[in-house]
Amino acid sequence: MWLVDRSWGNQSCRQPPFRRLGPGLLAAATLLAQAPDLHTKRPASLLIRNAMVVEGPGTPASGPRDILIENNRIARIVPSSARPPQAASTIDAAGKYVLPGLVNLHGHIQDERGGVPMDVNFCLKLWLASGITTVRDVGSAFEKSKTLRRQSIDGHIAAPRLFLYPFFNARTPAGAVQQVRDFKQMGADGIKHLGAYRDVMEAMRAEAAKLGLRTAHHAGVEETNAWDDVRLGTTTIEHWYGIPDAALAGEVQNFPPSFNYQNELDRFRYAGRLWREANPKKLSQVLEAMVKANVAWDPTLNIYEASRDLQRAQNHPWFADLLHPALDQFFKPNLSSHGSFFINWTTADEIYWRENYRIWMAALREFSQLGGLIGTGEDAGFIYQIQGFGLIRELELHQEAGFHPLTVLKHATYNGARILGKENEIGRIREGWLADLIIVNGNPLENFKLLYPTSGAIEWTIKDGILYHPPTLLQDVKQIVAKARKGPSREPKP
Ligand SMILES: [Zn+2]
């Protein structure tokens, strides 16, 4: 058994699949510094000159600075001067912003949707093209994802760092203990759970704590709610339902007699009326308790947005070139595809959901003011969100919730690293930290839309010291989509 923690970042002993640029190539490399020649390469040393730096933990931008990367680590950060440190390759970042790579806490690695195959590089490359250097995968085909995690660590594929939280589904306390041990044995980084019985969740959490596995709870409307997360020390609440559900005036939400939780139209329609039923005083108590118990919140605001504005969600301009046919098919209203419940979605539904967002966003602000830890996740591959774009929309929605753009970036970098327990390795532009960062032509604090891959503003995504050129990645993804649209039957035979 191996653990990712022991091997990640320690890559110098492995055969590099990317070409190392040694000092002998200095002159050529400097000349070609900004050309895609560096794409997929890890220079022995890289100097990013004259950058405005947003460090990550919420502190203001500062620059111009020079950042020296040696192999896969940030070696030095110094004010830009006439005599910069020497390096094999140089990127001039004058007028540009450098931020830590973004952390997506709620990803799903997908190689199919509803049985229709989808090249997994669609997800992986879109994530990197959006400046995402770390993804916490909360449910996918584990063995396949484990191979991708290994290939990403080795630099064999263009992909973010992957942390795998397989889906827990034991139905008895004894089964829970066994499954947690199995997950540990398999090399899981943590556990994702949803809809467990209370006694099963208790047994799972106790064993997970013993084995040092973090847990992400998709807190649905179920037997457990945020009070259980507080009591048992859940690492993150995913989404939100379990929070207002723990603060209801009565025992249960005021569902109509015909309500069926299994029917997604019912479920999402009445989810849109859940926040308004939370008692504000009780809600404050829940939020306070979460803060005390160190339960973080990954709200995934972006994934519900179709509920408040369906037309917007169905007409993203990037769908023209980037909507993979497998996703296109999956998004079409059909109660058997998760999240594709928009059958007779009404004006009233959207209005309820708009109010739902207002109360939800106020709760996020209150949670933050109390000292709560908030991260960013996207949950793309469902409900009209595609990978990468979902996370950038998440940043915009955190700003809409009332957070300063610097705080939004803190949610998406430093806080994400803390939630993963990797705050001494990633999530900051700091000496000794791993070289996960992005170089943006423009100021994202002024406009997060610069981070959408279609804007072309991210010039480089650097993961573990390896450079990726987002416009090139986006071209690759467009080709994947174009090829899939032609269909396998029309592929030319070799
Ligand atoms: Zn999810």
Residues 86, 88, 93, 94, CA torsion sign: positive
Average pLDDT of every residue of the chain: 92
Residue 14: pLDDT over 90: no
Residue 28: pLDDT over 90: no
Q: What residues contact 362, with CB distance under 8 A and at least 6 apart?
A: none
Distance 174 CA to ligand 1 centre (A): 26
Nearest to 165 by CA among 336, 4, 296: 4
* pLDDT tens for each residue of 293-341: 999 999 999 999 999 999 999 999 999 999 999 999 999 999 999 999 9
Distance 138 CA to ligand 1 centre (A): 6
Distance 20 CA to ligand 1 centre (A): 37
pLDDT band at 269 (very low <50, low <70, confident <90, very high): very high
Distance 379 CA to ligand 1 centre (A): 5
DSSP classification of residue 254: -
How far apart are alpha carbons 143 and 3 in whole angstroms? 14
pLDDT band at 4 (very low <50, low <70, confident <90, very high): very low
Residue 25: pLDDT over 90: no
Residue 152: per-residue pLDDT: 98
Residue 31: per-residue pLDDT: 41
pTM summary value:
0.92
DSSP classification of residue 350: H
Average pLDDT in the 101-128 region?
97
Q: Give the least confident one: 21-25, 90-94, 299-303.
A: 21-25
- Please report the domains of the chain, with CATH numbers, ordered by start residue: 16-100+429-483 (2.30.40.10), 102-420 (3.20.20.140)
Dihedral angle computed from the Cα positions of residues 266, 356, 374 and 124, in that order, rounded to the nearest 10 degrees: 50
Distance 92 CA to ligand 1 centre (A): 39
Residue 18: per-residue pLDDT: 52
* pLDDT tens for each residue of 53-69: 999 999 999 999 999 99
Residue 91: pLDDT over 90: yes
Distance 141 CA to ligand 1 centre (A): 13
Helix (H, G, I), strand (E, B) or coil at 236: strand
Give the Å distances, CA to CA, from 340 to 37, 230, 312, 331, 348.
42, 32, 15, 6, 18
Helices (H) then strands (E): counts for the chain: 19, 17
Distance 241 CA to ligand 1 centre (A): 13
* pLDDT tens for each residue of 130-171: 999 999 999 999 999 999 999 999 999 999 999 999 999 999
Distance 398 CA to ligand 1 centre (A): 18
Distance 300 CA to ligand 1 centre (A): 9
Residue 15: per-residue pLDDT: 41
Distance 229 CA to ligand 1 centre (A): 18
Distance 378 CA to ligand 1 centre (A): 8
494: its two tokens: 């070799």
Distance 105 CA to ligand 1 centre (A): 10
CB neighbourhood size of 23 (10 A): 12
Average pLDDT in the 396-405 region?
98
Give the Å distances, CA to CA, from 226 to 223, 234, 326.
11, 9, 35
Distance 155 CA to ligand 1 centre (A): 26
Distance 390 CA to ligand 1 centre (A): 12
Residue 34: per-residue pLDDT: 41
Residue 247 backbone dihedrals phi, psi, to 5 degrees: -120, 20
Distance 310 CA to ligand 1 centre (A): 20
pLDDT band at 6 (very low <50, low <70, confident <90, very high): very low
Residue 345: pLDDT over 90: yes
State what percent of residues in the chain have pLDDT above 90: 90
| Contact (Cβ atoms closer than 8 angstroms) between residue 54 and residue 97 | yes
Long-range contacts of the stretch 177-183 (C-beta < 8 A, 24+): 177/203, 177/204, 177/207, 179/204, 180/204, 180/207, 180/208, 180/211, 180/213, 181/207, 181/211, 183/213
Distance 30 CA to ligand 1 centre (A): 43
Residue 150 backbone dihedrals phi, psi, to 5 degrees: -65, -45
